[in-house]
Chains A and B, each alone.
Chain A
Amino acid sequence: DQQVKQNSPSLSVQEGRISILNCDYTNSMFDYFLWYKKYPAEGPTFLISISSIKDKNEDGRFTVFLNKSAKHLSLHIVPSQPGDSAVYFCAAIESGNTPLVFGKGTRLSVIA
């Protein structure tokens, strides 16, 4: 049973516009969430994280929103750039634990 779901396998966005990537989770014990970006033949690169005590965290062009009641988080990228084209993974951690539980990823294509 998938505990972290990214229901959109792919997303295309024009350069300069906003990219919104979504993630849903089912395990109420998750209290720390991370987004990673992955290029082919490379390991995932950490982008941004959020603790369950917050509902928003911002870092430059990247903002993550957390809606605990809906068990939903989203990553906003503004403005989108061609170099943002990659697979984005949402991951979650249970309280006091270590293993990251990943979604299956969303492939973002930013078109110039």
Chain B
Amino acid sequence: KAGVTQTPRYLIKTRGQQVTLSCSPISGHRSVSWYQQTPGQGLQFLFEYFSETQRNKGNFPGRFSGRQFSNSRSEMNVSTLELGDSALYLCASSSGPRGRETQYFGPGTRLLVL
């Protein structure tokens, strides 16, 4: 099976712009979660989508949003970019019983905000 894919792999934006990141989960996985990794805060949960519905949300401002399509592919959007949004954004897909599922990660999108 192909793994989780994320596009683009690298992105440079300027403050105030918006960005959209894409994630294709492992075939058959219906849950897609997004995480932000920064040197200071580590890996932090952004949100989770299951069957096109947001099932869980982390403690991030409303500038961070996402959606999931009927084929389980997911996108996340960050509006009005700030310097502090520079990070590695990771997508993970999973299947199986909630709370016992193993999440498999993509390679990430590295976003640099100037």
Contact = CB atoms under 8 A, between A and B. Distances in A.
A95 interface: yes
Interface stretch (A18-26, A44-52, A54-62, A78-86): A44-52
A106 to B, nearest CB: 12
Interface stretch (B11-19, B63-71, B73-81, B105-113): B105-113
A98 B103 CA distance: 9
A43 B105 contact: yes
A104 interface: yes
A17 B101 CA distance: 32
Interface size class of A (residues with CB under 8 A): 20 to 34
Contacts of B99: 31-32, 93-98
A96 B106 CA distance: 24
Contact of A100 (B4, B45, B107, B108): B45
A89 B94 CA distance: 18
Contacts of B43: 44, 89, 91, 100, 102
B98 A46 contact: no
B90 interface: yes
Interface of A: 31-32, 34, 36, 41-46, 49, 51, 89, 91, 93-105
